[in-house]
Amino acid sequence: MVTKKFHGVIPPIPTILFQNGNMDEKGTQNLIDFLIDSKVHGLFFNGSGGEFSQMTIEIRKKVAEFGVEYVNGRLPTLVGTGSPSTLETISLCEHAKEIGADGVVIINPYYWKLSEEALYKHYSSIANNVDIPILLYNFPTLTGQNITPDLAYKLAMNHQNIVGIKQTVEEAERTRDMILEVKSERIDFQIFSGFDDHFLHTLATGGDGSIPLTASFAPELSVGMYEAFRRGEYPKVMEFHQKLSTLLQLYRVDSPFINVVKEAIKLRGIDISTEMLPPLRSLNEDKKALLIELLPKYLPDIFT
């Protein structure tokens, strides 16, 4: 039997900050405890939903250190270490290993459009220099570049510490092709959806789980769908799938939607700061009012 460290629902943790940029440590603890109590299967720090792109290296390291230490082995922890710089990414991966993270998630470099050969060498250099499990992170809408199944296959077959990929892609067939091509030769390669409405498709075609931002405030839906799928309770799976698909309407409240997620967490009664790192901004009062109106409509069992 193949042992997989990462599977199921692994929420990207929004970074809880005060207006001055310092961590809201108590708020972060409140959120982590809530998610662990909600039976998620892992936690992901410094992802896109964690605002890594606005952070200094010092803040990224502090968030990772605090999160891994507070989780204290209760769940597997992933740390986002991607950067346009190969050397900086290696340095952040080394730091993640030093603090005891279980793995790293590396978004493909953004700004320059690289050849597939250069992208292969980027990930290979990291894998050769850092002894820690690596998940690739494919988000072409933001990076401008897709990690193809051929590239993922080559990386997976040549580097055993490249253990999986997060697929935040618009087209479901990209994930299907990734599963068919890579997992056919390396069954332990773990494939996760990034978008909620692709979660069911990912599971049904042989994927391993989801890393969805909505799970940071409504983990019951993703966790419920995953566990129902494992039990073969497919009518329940469809119920959860429909709720998750509807929930994505909340992302239209503002863009980028990370501020919406933080407000939704607070509206669940979890005491956190909802400040954002510039250039992102907190939700304004009109949009807060809209969110308060929409949450009971989309999630009547959670928000009353």
Residues identified as active-site: 48, 111, 137, 166
Please tell me the number of Cα atoms within 13 Å of 40 on its side-chain side. 31
Q: How far is CA 210 from CA 30, 38, 67, 257, 260, in A?
A: 22, 15, 20, 18, 20
CB 244 within 8 A of CB 214: yes
- Inter-helix orientation angle 57-71/25-37, to 10°: 50
**Cα–Cα distance measured from residue 200 to residue 302, given in angstroms and rounded to the nearest whole number:** 22
Q: Which helix (H) or strand (E) segment is 128 a member of?
A: helix 116-129
Of residues 150, 168, 169, the one with CA closest to residue 158: 150
Sort strands 134-138 and 162-167 into parallel, antiparallel or unpaired. parallel
CA dihedral over 36, 38, 40, 43, signed as positive or negative? negative
Q: What letter would DSSP give residue 47? A: S
Q: How far is CA 71 from CA 15, 66, 76, 163, 215, in A?
A: 15, 9, 9, 22, 17
**Cα–Cα distance measured from residue 9 to residue 222, given in angstroms and rounded to the nearest whole number:** 7
